[in-house]
Protein backbone atom coordinates (compact mmCIF):
# COMPACT_ATOMS: atom_id res chain seq x y z
CA UNK A 1 0.00 0.00 0.00
CA UNK A 2 1.29 3.47 -0.84
CA UNK A 3 2.36 5.48 2.21
CA UNK A 4 -0.31 7.85 3.32
CA UNK A 5 0.26 11.53 3.30
CA UNK A 6 0.48 13.09 6.73
CA UNK A 7 -1.57 16.27 6.82
CA UNK A 8 -0.92 17.38 10.39
CA UNK A 9 0.67 16.09 13.58
CA UNK A 10 -0.48 17.41 16.94
CA UNK A 11 0.40 16.50 20.52
CA UNK A 12 -1.93 13.49 20.80
CA UNK A 13 -3.08 12.75 17.25
CA UNK A 14 -1.94 12.58 13.64
CA UNK A 15 -4.13 13.38 10.65
CA UNK A 16 -3.57 11.57 7.35
CA UNK A 17 -5.24 12.12 4.00
CA UNK A 18 -8.36 9.96 3.84
CA UNK A 19 -9.42 7.50 1.13
CA UNK A 20 -11.90 9.98 -0.38
CA UNK A 21 -11.82 13.74 -0.83
CA UNK A 22 -13.23 15.52 2.20
CA UNK A 23 -12.06 12.81 4.62
CA UNK A 24 -9.09 12.38 6.95
CA UNK A 25 -7.82 9.43 8.95
CA UNK A 26 -7.31 10.44 12.58
CA UNK A 27 -4.62 8.39 14.41
CA UNK A 28 -4.55 8.44 18.23
CA UNK A 29 -1.03 8.43 19.71
CA UNK A 30 0.00 7.32 23.20
CA UNK A 31 1.67 10.68 23.91
CA UNK A 32 0.43 12.64 26.90
CA UNK A 33 1.34 16.29 27.35
CA UNK A 34 0.35 18.92 29.88
CA UNK A 35 1.17 22.53 30.73
CA UNK A 36 1.59 23.43 27.07
CA UNK A 37 3.79 20.35 26.45
CA UNK A 38 6.28 21.18 29.23
CA UNK A 39 5.35 17.83 30.81
CA UNK A 40 5.42 14.84 28.45
CA UNK A 41 5.19 11.06 28.64
CA UNK A 42 4.11 8.03 26.66
CA UNK A 43 1.16 6.24 28.22
CA UNK A 44 0.86 2.71 26.80
CA UNK A 45 -2.61 2.14 25.38
CA UNK A 46 -3.95 5.69 25.83
CA UNK A 47 -4.48 6.13 22.08
CA UNK A 48 -6.47 2.90 21.83
CA UNK A 49 -8.73 3.95 24.71
CA UNK A 50 -9.27 7.48 23.40
CA UNK A 51 -10.06 6.19 19.90
CA UNK A 52 -12.79 3.98 21.39
CA UNK A 53 -14.10 6.58 23.82
CA UNK A 54 -14.26 9.31 21.20
CA UNK A 55 -16.10 6.92 18.87
CA UNK A 56 -18.56 6.12 21.66
CA UNK A 57 -19.33 9.78 22.45
CA UNK A 58 -19.43 10.98 18.84
CA UNK A 59 -21.73 8.11 17.81
CA UNK A 60 -24.05 8.84 20.74
CA UNK A 61 -24.13 12.53 19.85
CA UNK A 62 -25.05 11.71 16.24
CA UNK A 63 -27.89 9.53 17.55
CA UNK A 64 -29.41 12.52 19.36
CA UNK A 65 -28.97 14.76 16.33
CA UNK A 66 -25.75 16.58 17.24
CA UNK A 67 -23.58 16.61 14.09
CA UNK A 68 -19.96 15.45 14.43
CA UNK A 69 -16.98 14.79 12.17
CA UNK A 70 -16.91 11.06 13.03
CA UNK A 71 -17.59 8.65 10.14
CA UNK A 72 -16.31 5.26 11.33
CA UNK A 73 -13.62 3.58 13.36
CA UNK A 74 -11.06 1.90 11.12
CA UNK A 75 -8.93 -0.02 13.62
CA UNK A 76 -7.63 0.16 17.18
CA UNK A 77 -5.97 3.54 16.76
CA UNK A 78 -7.61 5.13 13.74
CA UNK A 79 -10.93 6.58 12.73
CA UNK A 80 -12.26 8.04 9.51
CA UNK A 81 -13.48 11.61 9.95
CA UNK A 82 -14.90 14.41 7.85
CA UNK A 83 -12.48 17.12 6.89
CA UNK A 84 -13.53 20.39 8.53
CA UNK A 85 -12.24 23.92 8.81
CA UNK A 86 -11.39 24.08 12.51
CA UNK A 87 -12.55 27.25 14.25
CA UNK A 88 -9.44 28.42 16.17
CA UNK A 89 -11.15 28.34 19.56
CA UNK A 90 -11.24 25.83 22.40
CA UNK A 91 -14.83 25.73 23.60
CA UNK A 92 -14.95 24.88 27.31
CA UNK A 93 -18.09 24.03 29.26
CA UNK A 94 -17.91 23.99 33.05
CA UNK A 95 -20.43 22.57 35.51
CA UNK A 96 -18.21 22.75 38.60
CA UNK A 97 -15.23 25.03 39.28
CA UNK A 98 -11.78 23.50 38.69
CA UNK A 99 -8.43 24.26 37.08
CA UNK A 100 -7.95 27.74 35.71
CA UNK A 101 -11.46 28.89 36.67
CA UNK A 102 -10.76 28.07 40.31
CA UNK A 103 -7.45 29.92 40.12
CA UNK A 104 -8.86 32.96 38.35
CA UNK A 105 -11.94 33.40 40.51
CA UNK A 106 -10.70 31.96 43.81
CA UNK A 107 -13.36 29.25 43.80
CA UNK A 108 -12.69 26.00 45.58
CA UNK A 109 -12.37 23.09 43.13
CA UNK A 110 -15.66 21.21 42.99
CA UNK A 111 -17.91 24.22 43.72
CA UNK A 112 -21.10 23.76 41.70
CA UNK A 113 -21.66 26.63 39.28
CA UNK A 114 -25.06 28.38 39.14
CA UNK A 115 -25.46 27.04 35.60
CA UNK A 116 -23.18 25.54 32.93
CA UNK A 117 -20.73 28.22 31.83
CA UNK A 118 -19.25 28.30 28.32
CA UNK A 119 -15.79 29.82 27.86
CA UNK A 120 -13.62 30.32 24.79
CA UNK A 121 -9.84 30.09 24.59
CA UNK A 122 -7.84 31.03 21.53
CA UNK A 123 -6.05 27.99 20.06
CA UNK A 124 -2.50 29.31 20.16
CA UNK A 125 0.17 27.27 21.93
CA UNK A 126 2.69 30.13 21.79
CA UNK A 127 0.32 32.24 23.86
CA UNK A 128 -0.78 29.34 26.11
CA UNK A 129 -4.38 29.25 24.76
CA UNK A 130 -5.56 32.49 26.43
CA UNK A 131 -9.15 32.98 27.54
CA UNK A 132 -10.94 35.34 25.14
CA UNK A 133 -14.28 37.09 25.28
CA UNK A 134 -17.06 37.06 22.69
CA UNK A 135 -16.06 40.66 21.90
CA UNK A 136 -12.54 39.53 21.00
CA UNK A 137 -13.88 36.70 18.86
CA UNK A 138 -16.15 38.96 16.83
CA UNK A 139 -13.71 41.89 16.61
CA UNK A 140 -10.79 39.74 15.45
CA UNK A 141 -13.00 37.71 13.11
CA UNK A 142 -12.25 34.26 14.60
CA UNK A 143 -15.97 33.50 14.32
CA UNK A 144 -19.12 35.42 13.41
CA UNK A 145 -21.94 36.23 15.85
CA UNK A 146 -24.11 33.50 14.31
CA UNK A 147 -21.25 30.99 14.69
CA UNK A 148 -20.89 31.98 18.33
CA UNK A 149 -24.58 31.39 19.03
CA UNK A 150 -24.38 28.03 17.23
CA UNK A 151 -21.20 27.07 19.09
CA UNK A 152 -22.75 27.80 22.48
CA UNK A 153 -25.90 25.83 21.59
CA UNK A 154 -23.80 22.90 20.34
CA UNK A 155 -21.53 22.95 23.40
CA UNK A 156 -24.50 22.95 25.79
CA UNK A 157 -26.09 19.99 23.98
CA UNK A 158 -22.80 18.10 24.20
CA UNK A 159 -22.69 19.00 27.91
CA UNK A 160 -26.15 17.59 28.57
CA UNK A 161 -25.38 14.42 26.67
CA UNK A 162 -21.95 13.84 28.25
CA UNK A 163 -23.20 14.72 31.75
CA UNK A 164 -25.95 12.13 31.36
CA UNK A 165 -23.61 9.42 30.04
CA UNK A 166 -21.26 10.02 32.94
CA UNK A 167 -23.93 10.36 35.62
CA UNK A 168 -25.28 6.96 34.57
CA UNK A 169 -21.95 5.33 35.47
CA UNK A 170 -21.27 7.24 38.68
CA UNK A 171 -19.00 9.92 37.22
CA UNK A 172 -19.33 13.70 37.58
CA UNK A 173 -18.57 15.73 34.45
CA UNK A 174 -16.79 18.71 35.98
CA UNK A 175 -15.78 20.38 32.72
CA UNK A 176 -14.64 19.58 29.20
CA UNK A 177 -13.28 21.11 26.02
CA UNK A 178 -14.45 20.58 22.47
CA UNK A 179 -13.35 21.90 19.13
CA UNK A 180 -15.81 22.85 16.45
CA UNK A 181 -15.38 22.75 12.69
CA UNK A 182 -17.10 24.28 9.70
CA UNK A 183 -18.33 22.16 6.81
CA UNK A 184 -19.73 23.52 3.59
CA UNK A 185 -22.84 22.11 2.01
CA UNK A 186 -23.30 24.02 -1.22
CA UNK A 187 -23.35 27.68 -0.24
CA UNK A 188 -24.35 26.89 3.32
CA UNK A 189 -21.99 26.28 6.21
CA UNK A 190 -22.75 24.13 9.19
CA UNK A 191 -20.88 23.77 12.47
CA UNK A 192 -20.09 20.28 13.71
CA UNK A 193 -18.24 18.78 16.67
CA UNK A 194 -14.68 17.87 15.62
CA UNK A 195 -11.32 16.76 17.12
CA UNK A 196 -11.99 14.27 19.94
CA UNK A 197 -14.03 13.78 23.08
CA UNK A 198 -12.01 11.77 25.59
CA UNK A 199 -10.73 11.95 29.18
CA UNK A 200 -7.78 13.94 27.77
CA UNK A 201 -10.08 16.94 27.45
CA UNK A 202 -12.57 16.41 30.30
CA UNK A 203 -12.51 16.52 34.07
CA UNK A 204 -14.21 13.38 35.37
CA UNK A 205 -14.59 12.69 39.09
CA UNK A 206 -16.05 9.59 40.70
CA UNK A 207 -19.32 10.75 42.27
CA UNK A 208 -18.84 8.72 45.45
CA UNK A 209 -15.13 9.05 46.15
CA UNK A 210 -14.12 12.14 44.16
CA UNK A 211 -11.33 10.09 42.55
CA UNK A 212 -10.04 11.76 39.38
CA UNK A 213 -10.44 9.69 36.21
CA UNK A 214 -9.05 12.16 33.65
CA UNK A 215 -5.85 13.85 32.51
CA UNK A 216 -5.40 15.56 35.89
CA UNK A 217 -4.06 12.14 37.01
CA UNK A 218 -1.13 12.87 34.69
CA UNK A 219 -0.97 16.67 35.21
CA UNK A 220 -0.89 16.29 38.99
CA UNK A 221 0.97 12.94 39.27
CA UNK A 222 -1.94 11.19 40.97
CA UNK A 223 -1.36 7.66 39.63
CA UNK A 224 -1.61 5.62 36.45
CA UNK A 225 -3.38 7.50 33.67
CA UNK A 226 -4.15 4.39 31.60
CA UNK A 227 -5.77 2.77 34.65
CA UNK A 228 -8.03 5.83 35.05
CA UNK A 229 -9.06 5.87 31.37
CA UNK A 230 -9.55 2.09 31.43
CA UNK A 231 -11.93 2.54 34.36
CA UNK A 232 -13.97 5.15 32.42
CA UNK A 233 -14.10 2.87 29.36
CA UNK A 234 -15.01 -0.14 31.49
CA UNK A 235 -17.87 1.67 33.22
CA UNK A 236 -19.23 2.89 29.88
CA UNK A 237 -18.97 -0.64 28.44
CA UNK A 238 -16.66 0.41 25.62
CA UNK A 239 -13.47 -1.48 26.49
CA UNK A 240 -12.21 -3.39 23.48
CA UNK A 241 -12.51 -7.03 24.49
CA UNK A 242 -9.00 -8.06 23.43
CA UNK A 243 -7.03 -5.11 24.79
CA UNK A 244 -5.82 -4.05 28.17
CA UNK A 245 -3.65 -0.97 28.51
CA UNK A 246 -0.56 -3.16 29.00
CA UNK A 247 1.19 -3.64 25.67
CA UNK A 248 4.33 -5.27 27.04
CA UNK A 249 4.40 -9.08 27.10
CA UNK A 250 3.70 -10.47 30.55
CA UNK A 251 4.71 -13.88 31.87
CA UNK A 252 1.89 -16.28 32.56
CA UNK A 253 2.60 -18.98 35.13
Judged by CB under 6 A, does residue 73 bind ligand TYD?
no
Contact 46, 13 (CB under 8 A): no
Judged by CB under 6 A, does residue 31 bind ligand TYD?
no
Q: What span, in angstroms and rounded, lies between the C-alpha atoms of 129 and 15?
A: 21
Q: Would you say 92 or 192 has its CB closer to ligand TYD?
A: 92
Among 176, 205, 218, 229, binds ligand TYD (CB under 6 A): 176
Segment lying near ligand TYD (by CB under 6 A), choices 1-9, 23-31, 143-151, 169-177: 169-177
Please report, as residue ranges, which positions from 212 to 241 form the binding site for ligand TYD (by CB under 6 A).
Answer: none
In three-state form (DSSP H/G/I as H, E/B as E, the rest C), the secondary structure along 77-98 is CEEEEECCEECCEEEEEEEECC
Judged by CB under 6 A, does residue 202 bind ligand TYD?
yes
Handedness of CA 231, 45, 35, 16 (dihedral sign): negative
Instruction: Find the shortest distance in angstroms from Cβ 242 to ligand TYD.
Output: 29
Mark out the alpha helices in the chain (DSSP H runs).
46-63, 99-105, 134-139, 145-168, 216-219, 225-236
Q: What span, in angstroms and rounded, lies between the C-alpha atoms of 194 and 192?
A: 6
Instruction: Find the shortest distance in angstroms from Cβ 167 to ligand TYD.
Output: 17
Judged by CB under 6 A, does residue 201 bind ligand TYD?
yes
Q: What span, in angstroms and rounded, lies between the C-alpha atoms of 22 and 36?
A: 30
Q: Tell me the residue nearest to ligand TYD as measured from the CB.
A: 99
Q: Would you say 27 or 205 has its CB closer to ligand TYD?
A: 205
Contact 130, 121 (CB under 8 A): yes
Helix (H, G, I), strand (E, B) or coil at 186: coil
Please report, as residue ranges, which positions from 85 to 144 form the binding site for ligand TYD (by CB under 6 A).
Answer: 90, 92, 98-101, 121, 129
Instruction: Find the shortest distance in angstroms from Cβ 26 to ligand TYD.
Output: 16
Instruction: Find the shortest distance in angstroms from Cβ 82 to ligand TYD.
Output: 21
Q: How many residues bind ligand TYD (CB under 6 A)?
A: 14
Among 46, 73, 177, 245, binds ligand TYD (CB under 6 A): 177
Judged by CB under 6 A, does residue 203 bind ligand TYD?
yes
The residues, any chain, with a CB within 8 Å of residue 156's CB and separated by 6 or more, are 93, 116, 118
Instruction: Find the shortest distance in angstroms from Cβ 109 to ligand TYD.
Output: 10
Q: What span, in angstroms and rounded, lies between the C-alpha atoms of 204 and 215?
A: 9
> Using CB under 6 A as the criterion, which residues of the chain lie in contact with ligand TYD when the complex forms?
90, 92, 98-101, 121, 129, 175-177, 201-203
Amino acid sequence: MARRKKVYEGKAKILYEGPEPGTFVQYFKDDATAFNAQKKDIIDGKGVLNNRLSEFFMTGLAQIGVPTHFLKRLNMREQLIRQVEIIPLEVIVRNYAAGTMSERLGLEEGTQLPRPIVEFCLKDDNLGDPLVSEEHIIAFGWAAQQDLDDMIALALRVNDFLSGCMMAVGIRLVDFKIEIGRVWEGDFQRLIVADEISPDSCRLWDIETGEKLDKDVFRRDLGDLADAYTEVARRLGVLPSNVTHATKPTLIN
